[in-house]
Structures are given as structure tokens and as C-alpha cells.
């Protein structure tokens, strides 16, 4: 049996799978490459010469990339974008929904760039839930009130039934995934224990050590490199990279 690496959690699905915040360049590259493959395979992104999907939001210090690795290979990833200088990615499509929450003083975050090397969402859902537990405790530690996600309508029911997300808006075309449809969902961490005790127990009943949850940021050289990919591949809106270069 493999020994879990420092700053990581063992997965219940396999002793050779580790869950962690991305901390090394190999882990960041692996996450961006996996997102690229997954999104291209699903018709959500166009091929590019870099073989990576990177967004401007992912390069901010208010964002955190999470990875599950199998023998050092990234096999599942997601990114938590906390509300910051660029706002949230889904504001491009759902500005009113996000603005109404922000105006109430709520601290928001969005899960984005979810990818898994397997094809079926149902097959990777167990591992995704484990990685989401790590993400949720990180979010709570950093004061997040609500976690948002824009997902394909075919997958919305899974998030609603299994992870206590609730629909917050209408179906819309989503430009960041080549115009594919999406719906906005949200889970309120403040009310989770009372309203969805099963999900709360899944995510929060066993606490994760704070050293595992300590933030990890890209260094300036890494930000400059990945900013080039973002600019060349079009995953940026006007003005988004001003503070990253």
C-alpha cells in the first residue's frame, strides 16, 4: 500500500490515489492538460497548440486548483474561484444572479474547470465527491458562504440530489464552453448542516488538517507562462490579464 504524501489525503477508492491542492508545476500542468482533454472530448473547447485549458481566473491568488493523482498522474481536477478582482467566471452569463448575492454581502466562490480522465460522470462521481470534500473545507476555512457552479442541464439533477445544490436561474448558452447549454446552481454552506445533514456529514463531519488545506499559489514566472496560453487560446475577456502579466 502506498504511503500518502505530505499535504495530501488518501482516497477511499484506491490506496494509490491522493487528493491535494495543486502545489507543484507538474500538478498544475497535469490539471490544465486534463481539463483540455476532457473539454475537447466533450465538445466544450477547441484544440490548441499547448494542449492545455487555462483561464485567467485560475491564475489569481484567490483561486485554488485541486487534484486527485494516481501514481503522480492527475486523474481528476477542479478549481475553486473565490470572488475577487475578476469576479466569478459565470458572471459573463449570469450577472444578475451573482450581483444580487454579492450585494447582500455574501462571500461567493465558483467551482470551475472540473475534469476527469473517465468518460461518464457517474463513474467518476465518487472521486469527485472526495475531491469536493477537500474543496468544501478549504472554502469554509476561507469564509465562503455559497459555492456556485454552471453545469450542463443533463448533469444538474446529480448535483441537486447528491450534493445539495439548488438551481438559481434559467438555462442559457455558455460562451466559455463553445455555446453549450448551462444552468446555474448554488449550495449554501451556512445552511447545509440543517437543511441537508447527509451532505454536511459527507463533507464536514471529519475535519481535514489545516496543513493540507494551506493555500498554494503560482509563482510570478508560472503566471507569466500560463497567461500567454490564456491570451493565445482566447480564454480571457478584455482587461482580465492586466494584473497577471
- Looking at per-residue pLDDT, the higher value among 238 and 130 belongs to 130
In this structure, how many other beta carbons lie within 10 angstroms of the beta carbon of residue 173? 11
For strands 17-21 and 63-70, give the pairing. Answer: antiparallel
Q: Is the pLDDT of residue 98 over 90?
A: yes
pTM for the model: 0.92
DSSP H stretches of helix in the chain: 25-41, 95-103, 121-141, 153-163, 192-195, 197-204, 220-233
- Residue 185 in contact with residue 167, Cβ under 8 Å? yes
- Looking at per-residue pLDDT, the higher value among 146 and 233 belongs to 146
The domain limits of the chain are 9-204
d(CA 27, CA 24): 5
d(CA 56, CA 206): 33
Nearest to 147 by CA among 137, 136, 158: 136
- Looking at per-residue pLDDT, the higher value among 236 and 27 belongs to 27
- Going by the DSSP 8-state scheme, the letter that residue 16 receives in this structure is T
pLDDT the model gives residue 125: 85
Q: Is the pLDDT of residue 239 over 50?
A: no
pLDDT the model gives residue 237: 45
d(CA 227, CA 229): 5
d(CA 218, CA 100): 31
pLDDT digits (tens, 9 = 90+) for 165-207: 999 999 999 999 999 999 999 999 999 999 999 999 999 999 9
High-pLDDT (> 70) share of the chain, %: 91
Cell of 202: 459527507
Q: Is the pLDDT of residue 242 over 70?
A: no
In this structure, how many other beta carbons lie within 10 angstroms of the beta carbon of residue 149? 22
d(CA 34, CA 68): 11
CATH superfamily of 9-204: Gcn5-related N-acetyltransferase (GNAT) (3.40.630.30)
pLDDT the model gives residue 235: 60
Q: Which of 4-13, 97-106, 134-143, 177-186 has the lowest mean pLDDT?
A: 4-13
pLDDT the model gives residue 120: 62
pLDDT digits (tens, 9 = 90+) for 36-81: 999 999 999 999 999 999 999 999 999 999 999 999 999 999 999 9
Mean pLDDT of the chain: 91
pLDDT the model gives residue 241: 35
Torsion of CA 11, 13, 14, 18, to 10 degrees: -20
CA 128 to chain centre: 10
Grade residue 114 by pLDDT with cuts at 50, 70 and 90: very high
Amino acid at each position: 500500500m502506498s504511503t500518502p504524501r505530505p499535504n495530501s489525503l488518501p482516497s477511499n477508492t484506491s490506496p494509490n490515489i491522493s487528493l491535494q491542492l495543486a502545489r507543484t508545476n507538474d500538478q498544475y500542468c497535469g490539471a490544465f492538460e486534463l481539463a483540455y482533454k476532457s473539454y475537447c472530448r466533450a465538445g466544450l473547447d477547441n484544440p490548441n497548440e499547448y494542449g492545455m485549458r487555462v483561464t485567467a481566473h485560475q491564475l489569481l491568488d484567490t483561486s485554488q486548483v485541486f487534484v486527485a493523482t494516481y501514481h503522480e498522474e492527475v486523474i481528476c481536477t477542479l478549481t475553486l474561484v473565490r470572488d475577487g478582482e475578476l469576479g466569478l467566471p459565470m458572471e459573463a452569463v449570469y450577472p444578475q444572479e451573482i450581483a444580487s448575492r454579492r450585494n447582500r454581502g455574501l462571500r461567493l466562490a465558483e467551482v470551475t474547470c472540473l475534469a476527469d480522465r473517465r468518460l461518464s460522470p457517474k463513474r467518476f462521481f465518487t472521486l469527485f465527491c472526495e475531491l469536493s470534500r477537500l474543496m468544501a473545507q478549504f472554502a469554509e476555512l476561507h469564509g465562503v458562504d455559497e459555492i456556485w457552479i454552471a453545469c450542463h442541464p443533463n448533469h444538474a439533477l446529480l448535483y441537486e440530489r447528491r450534493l445539495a445544490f439548488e438551481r438559481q436561474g434559467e438555462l442559457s448558452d455558455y460562451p466559455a464552453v463553445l455555446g453549450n447549454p448551462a444552468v446555474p446552481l448554488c449550495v449554501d454552506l451556512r445552511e447545509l448542516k440543517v437543511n441537508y445533514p447527509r451532505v454536511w456529514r459527507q463533507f464536514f463531519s471529519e475535519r481535514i488538517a489545516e496543513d493540507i488545506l494551506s493555500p498554494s499559489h503560482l509563482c510570478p514566472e508560472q503566471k507569466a507562462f500560463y497567461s500567454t496560453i490564456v491570451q493565445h487560446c482566447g480564454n480571457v475577456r478584455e482587461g482580465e490579464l492586466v494584473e497577471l502579466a
